[in-house]
């Protein structure tokens, strides 16, 4: 029978079998998926084939082909990576203008990584209630910028407003939620799941309680409102953005939509858009057609790539 991996603790996996039962499953030590060198062969979000033995233990015998997956590169030199989650429909980045500040560089890195993984990303500007008139305009300008690039954005106060708009967004999809510490992710989950669930500590703050963050990850079924497929939220403790994508410096511009588009007009095919001569991107930045903040984020990722420290 097949099932969906909903929780990984390093040694065991919880799998929601298609008949609705949740089983603890294991993976043989020599289990490998061809072409991927990872420290874990199976990840949250994987669809798997199961085999229950006469002794009652259940084993994962096969991982179905993944639509996508996100990784974290190991910090050691083994070139192995850790798969954080698979088959993600969308990534929701919760950001705040202030309290705490979320930098545009952080947002743009997140969006670029989502592009590299081909995962649609949505920005939620939270804590609208704390904004001054001037700050409201700043948020409006940022939303206009990202919407002009084709990203969906929302603005609200998850503490004060109802979160129906977010529920609608999550409906029937597998969503990876991210954002800096303090932006309101747990508050949002509280209001989506209601007191009952979060009080048990299932979602709320596994990582705040010292969970072993390198191997634990889980996805949580959203409350159902009708007959639609279950929606899921993935919580990967300790991961503020995504894991790193191995990115060649010539590739970075591919993940900044407007820089990629305008960069095709540069004189040289391999233009990195760092030298003003014959560069259509720099000309567009100077004319205000590309936002300076976006160009700076691009340079920042390019610089990281050159120093090989991007994760
Ligand atoms: N004023 C205001 N405060 C909010 C809002 N949303 C969350 N907060 C507050 O911001 C603080 C941090 O919120 P959390 O939900 O714990 O933030 P988090 O993103 O889960 O943070 P980490 O778990 O550290 O990653 C809490 O004191 C919340 O009450 C909001 O919309 N408006
Ligand atoms: Mg939290
Ligand atoms: Zn150029």
Residues with a CB atom less than 6 Å from ligand 1: 126-127, 129-130, 157-160, 179, 181-187, 205
What is the SS3 string spanning the chain? CEEEEEEECCCCEEEEECCCCEEEEECCCCCCCCCCCECCCCCECCEEEEEECCCCCEEEEEECCCCCEEEEECCCCCCCEEEEEECCCEEEEEECCCCCCCCHHHHHHHHHHHHHHCCCEEEEECCHHHCCHHHHHHHHHHHHHHHHCCCEEEECCCCCCCCHHHHHHHCCCEEEEECCCCCCHHHHHHHHHHHHHHHCCCCCCHHHHCCCCCCCEEEEECCCCCCCCCCEEEECCCCCCCCCCCCCCCCHHHHCHHHHHHHCCCCCCCCCCCCCCCCHHHHHHHCCCCCHHHHHHHHHHHHHHHHCCCC
When pLDDT is cut at 50, 70 and 90, the band that residue 244 belongs to is low
Nearest-ligand number for the alpha carbon of 283: 3
100 CA from centroid of ligand 1 (Å): 9
Quote the pLDDT of residue 7.
Answer: 92
Quote the pLDDT of residue 309.
Answer: 45
Does residue 31 or residue 169 have the better pLDDT?
A: 169
Residue 176 has pLDDT above 90, yes or no: yes
Quote the pLDDT of residue 224.
Answer: 78
When pLDDT is cut at 50, 70 and 90, the band that residue 72 belongs to is confident
Q: How do residues 180-213 score in pLDDT, each as one tens digit?
A: 889 999 899 889 887 655 444 455 444 444 444 4
Nearest-ligand number for the alpha carbon of 285: 3
Q: How do residues 245-264 score in pLDDT, each as one tens digit?
A: 667 889 999 999 999 999 99
265 CA from centroid of ligand 3 (Å): 8
Task: Indicate the average pLDDT of the chain.
Answer: 86
Mean pLDDT, rounded, for 20-49: 83
pTM for this prediction:
0.88
Does residue 75 or residue 132 have the better pLDDT?
A: 132
Residue nearest to atom 23 of ligand 1 (CA): 181
204 CA from centroid of ligand 2 (Å): 6
Q: What residues have their beta carbon closer than 5 A to ion ligand 3? A: 266, 271, 273, 279, 281
Quote the pLDDT of residue 194.
Answer: 77
Domains of the chain, first to last: 2-67 (2.40.50.140), 88-235 (3.40.50.300), 252-307 (1.10.40.50)
Quote the pLDDT of residue 200.
Answer: 42
Nearest-ligand number for the alpha carbon of 178: 1
Instruction: Tell which one of 98, 182, 201 to mutate to probe ligand 1, the residue whose CB is within 8 A of the most ligand atoms.
Output: 182
């Amino acid at each position: 029978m097949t099932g969906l991996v909903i929780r990984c603790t390093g040694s065991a996996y919880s799998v929601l079998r298609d008949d609705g039962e949740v089983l603890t499953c294991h993976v043989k030590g020599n289990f490998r998926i061809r072409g991927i060198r990872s420290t874990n062969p199976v990840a949250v979000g994987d669809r798997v084939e199961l085999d229950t033995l006469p002794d009652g233990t259940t084993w994962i015998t096969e991982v179905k082909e993944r639509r996508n997956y996100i990784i974290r590169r190991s910090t050691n030199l083994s070139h192995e990576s850790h798969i954080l989650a698979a088959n993600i429909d969308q990534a929701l980045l919760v950001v705040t203008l202030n309290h705490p500040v979320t930098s545009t560089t952080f947002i743009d890195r997140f969006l670029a990584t989502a592009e590299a993984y081909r995962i649609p990303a949505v920005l939620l500007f939270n804590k609208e209630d704390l904004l001054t008139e001037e700050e409201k305009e700043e948020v409006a300008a940022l939303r206009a910028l990202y919407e002009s690039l084709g990203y969906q954005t929302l603005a609200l106060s998850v503490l004060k407003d109802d979160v129906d708009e977010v529920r609608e967004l999550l409906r029937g999809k597998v969503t990876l939620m991210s954002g800096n510490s303090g932006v309101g992710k747990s508050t949002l989950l509280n209001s989506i799941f209601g007191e009952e669930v979060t009080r048990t500590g299932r979602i709320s703050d596994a990582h705040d309680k010292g969970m072993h963050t390198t191997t634990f990850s889980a996805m949580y079924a959203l409350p159902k409102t009708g007959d639609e497929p279950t929606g899921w939220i993935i919580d990967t403790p300790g991961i503020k953005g995504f894991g790193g994508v191995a990115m060649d410096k010539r590739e970075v511009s591919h993940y900044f939509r407007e820089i990629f588009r305008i960069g095709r007009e540069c004189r040289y095919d391999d233009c990195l858009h760092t030298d003003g001569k014959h560069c259509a991107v720099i000309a567009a930045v100077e004319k205000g057609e590309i936002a300076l903040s976006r160009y700076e984020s691009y340079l920042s990722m390019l610089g990281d790539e050159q120093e090989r420290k991007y994760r």
